Amino acid sequence: MALNEYIASRKQNKDLLLMTHVVCGYPSFDANLKELEIMAEAGVDFVELQFPFSEPSADGPLFVKANQIAVESGVTVEQCFEFMAKVSQRFDFKVLMMGYYNTVFKMGHEAFVDALKAAGGCGFIVPDLPLEEAGALHDYAKSQDIAPIVLMTPTNTDARLQTIAKAADGFVYVVARRGVTGGKTEMDAEVGEFLDKCRDISPVPTGVGFGVSAKEDLDFLAKHADMGIIGTAALKAWEEGEEKALRDFFGSLGLL
Amino acid sequence: MQNTFDHPLPNEHGYFGEYGGSFIPPELQQIMNDIDAAYREIRQEPEFLIQLASLYQHYVGRPSPIFLAENLSKKYGAQIYLKREDLNHTGAHKINHCLGEALLAKKMGKKKIIAETGAGQHGVALATAAALLGLECDIYMGEVDIKKEHPNVVRMHILGANVIPATHGRKTLKEAVDAAFEAYLKDPHSQLYAIGSVVGPHPFPMMVRDFQSIIGNEARQQMQQQYGGLPDHVVACVGGGSNAMGIFSAFLDDKEVALHGVEPAGHTMAVAGEHAATLSKGQPGTMHGFKSYMLQDEQGEPQEVYSVASGLDYPSVGPQHAYLKDLGRVNYHAIDDKQAIDAFFELSRMEGIIPAIESSHAIAQACKIAQGGGRVLVNLSGRGDKDIDFVVENYGKDYGLGSKL
């Protein structure tokens, strides 16, 4: 099923889709599977499987540590693809690769896309690959029905957002971090405005990551986007109390 | 002498051939665009050029002299000239770009300037520029290097900078870059990341090169005016590659001048993780925001690196060096720990100049080249005060000294 049909079918039953994130091999592949079982139960629609890289320049401290520990423990790209194949067979949600460009560059664009497709992945998110560099990789991916996910951020100019929209496929990942200053309500209004703009410009659905950690965040996002993206909060819950804490976390979101 | 800021490369997207560019998350790209725009503006401003030239002359002590090392020359059979960047205020070439980056930070209204440091030379130079210009300063440094380069750590503290240890991995230069990058991502608005070499995303490889070009601009003129013509060879050590780009930049069009970059062979080139000879042993890759040669494993993970010189052990290299290597314009060599320490003592004992261990790699290669005759100009990029305790403790007994003095 093409990605847009999948998204449309999932959207029939709910206002807001959900994507979650695990770092492959951190703390272990077994732990990953337990996390994914809970996520599946919570009804998530997409999961990003992060291929660990020791210089994860777009990640916050918690994920930096997770990446570095996974790398140091010897997690390989091959193991990540094997894990992806297992996950995409076992669960209903769709799986994407998230990682850094040197992993893709080192494998070669076509080999990477072919491996991703063979493992049942539906797309990839490579945040340090600028659009200007992405042409050949994106073209080949699209020819294989693999969606290259592009990113929009509040620092993009309107002209830049238009350029990004033209390259969009599957969905757009909107990185809408809350600012470090400013009252919450005011920032929410500002973020809401930005999300509406992205949704307006984007030809495909929008997914938003901005430190989603509570039910009210999801309620807010349901008005301004098609999908919420949960990263840090879920890993934090797992670190605090593994299965029980993760279960409680999804419970607090009203999903379990 | 003023900097010319007049170089054909990189192109407007920051590429030197296929290398360089900007491989960073989109949130950071706008910040880099702002830095690029502010830099292109400031380098056209007469007040900035006058201020920088004045600081170079009266604060740094430029132009740095070129000294004909006659004793060394006699031994090896060629004329060996030393460009004395070790005589700069703070003891190395790093102050050349730190003053430029600090002035840029002021222009952009930043309150704080942050950076990584390996041997501590860049950290000291940046802390110095920050003190002079009234900026806060955070320096990230690997825990191993903090122990090894104690005098520089003390200097940074005295100058009022915060020294923040990088505690993961091998706890050296790469990890310091990771830590500084992470801190920068948290708040890219009130801080400027003053990258310490010709590495990182565009515009840093261009900007740092431009500020360091003063070395080559002076040297080219000095060789012609004082020593009757251009050198046959120019030699410089390469970690990230800032002092080398600084001196090479003026000679790139002088086809008769051979250029030599010297990488650290560490313990041995035969084993990954035991050297940091990126251009000799690496392959193209992207890390820390730019594409260049990189020491990496089959997964594309950066490999561990090692050199006796903390300022040289980095698993990538400035993108213009990668370009010049492919072009064949610069010859890249490797000198191991032992050869570098030999050169450290030889220069000290024959010329009365204690070089930085980093620069000792260039001296060692220059002595090899000198055996073929000709005029060899070496960039003596820093002085060895910071290294004396470490060298005596670890190598003193091989040179007639106790391991404690």
Average pLDDT over residues A5-28: 95
Instruction: Give the model's pLDDT for residue A180.
Output: 38
Which residues on A lie below 8 Å from B182 (Cβ)?
Answer: 61, 64
Which residues on B lie below 8 Å from A55 (Cβ)?
Answer: 178, 181, 287-288, 302
Residue A254 forms part of a structural domain: no
DSSP for B383-396 reads BSGGGHHHHHHHHG
Q: Please provide the average confidence, as pLDDT, over all residues in chain A.
A: 92
Sign of the alpha-carbon torsion through B21, B235, B363, B206? negative
End-to-end CA distance of chain A: 27
Q: Which domain holds residue A133?
A: 3-240
Residue A256 forms part of a structural domain: no
**CATH number, position A233:** 3.20.20.70
Q: Which residues of chain A form beta strands (DSSP E)?
A: 17-23, 46-50, 94-98, 123-125, 147-148, 150-152, 172-175, 206-209, 227-230
CA-based nearest distance A25→chain B, Å: 15
Query: CB of A29 within 8 A of CB of A79?
Result: yes
In total, how many domains does chain A have? Answer: 1
A35-56, pLDDT tens digit by residue?
999 999 999 999 999 999 998 8
Residue A107 forms part of a structural domain: yes
Residue A249 forms part of a structural domain: no
Report the alpha-carbon distance of residue A155 to residue A149 in Å, rounded. Answer: 18
Instruction: Give the model's pLDDT for residue A79.
Output: 98
Percentage of residues of chain A with pLDDT beyond 70: 95
Average pLDDT over residues B143-157: 91
End-to-end CA distance of chain B: 42
Average pLDDT over residues B154-161: 97
Confidence of residue A186 (pLDDT cuts 50, 70, 90): low
**C-alpha pair distances (Å), B106 with each of B4, B89, B102, B135, B197:** 21, 21, 6, 8, 20
Cβ-defined contact of B287 to A77 (cutoff 8 Å)? no
Residue A92 forms part of a structural domain: yes
Worst-scoring range by mean pLDDT, A209-213, B39-43, B189-193, B303-307? A209-213
Considering only CB atoms, A133 lies closest to which of B21, B287, B302, namely: B21
A7 CB near a chain B CB, below 8 Å? no
Instruction: Give the model's pLDDT for residue A181.
Output: 36
Query: CB of B113 within 8 A of CB of B126?
Result: yes
Best CA proximity match to B170, nearest among B315, B269, B279 = B315
Best CA proximity match to B223, nearest among B374, B9, B392 = B374
A177 CB near a chain B CB, below 8 Å? yes
pTM listed for this prediction: 0.93
List the structure tokens of B219.
Answer: 């040297």
In the chain, the amino acid numbered B267 is H
Instruction: Give the model's pLDDT for residue B309.
Output: 93
Chain CA centroid to CA B270, Å: 25
Confidence of residue A94 (pLDDT cuts 50, 70, 90): very high
Cβ-defined contact of B23 to A130 (cutoff 8 Å)? yes
Tokens 């601009």, located at residue: B217
- Cα angle value A73/A21/A153 (rounded, 5°): 115
Query: CB of A155 within 8 A of CB of B30?
Result: yes
Tokens 């809408």, located at residue: A176
Helix (H, G, I), strand (E, B), or coil: what is residue B83?
strand
Cβ-defined contact of B300 to A130 (cutoff 8 Å)? no
Residue A120 forms part of a structural domain: yes
Q: Is the pLDDT of residue B5 over 90?
A: no
| Closest-CA residue of chain B to A156 | B30
B188-216, pLDDT tens digit by residue?
889 999 999 999 999 999 999 999 999 99
DSSP state of B30: H
Structure-model confidence comparison of residues B124 and B181, the more confident one: B124
Helices (H), B112-269: 121-133, 143-148, 150-158, 173-186, 204-227, 242-248
Cβ-defined contact of B169 to A105 (cutoff 8 Å)? no
DSSP for A33-51 reads HHHHHHHHHTT-SEEEEEP
Average pLDDT over residues B146-175: 90
A128-167, pLDDT tens digit by residue?
999 999 999 999 999 999 999 999 998 889 999 999 999 9
Percentage of residues of chain B with pLDDT beyond 70: 99
A101 CB near a chain B CB, below 8 Å? yes
Q: Give catalytic residue positions of A.
A: 48, 59
Query: CB of A17 within 8 A of CB of A226?
Result: yes
Residue A248 forms part of a structural domain: no
Which residues on A lie below 8 Å from B302 (Cβ)?
Answer: 54-55
Report the alpha-carbon distance of residue A219 to residue B104 in Å, rounded. Answer: 44
Q: Is the pLDDT of residue A183 over 50?
A: no
Report the alpha-carbon distance of residue A80 to residue A115 in Å, rounded. Answer: 11
Cβ-defined contact of B288 to A130 (cutoff 8 Å)? no
Residue A148 forms part of a structural domain: yes
Q: A226-250 burial, b if ≥16 CB within 10 A, otherwise e?
A: bbbbbbbbbbebbeeeeeeebbebb
| Closest-CA residue of chain B to A153 | B27
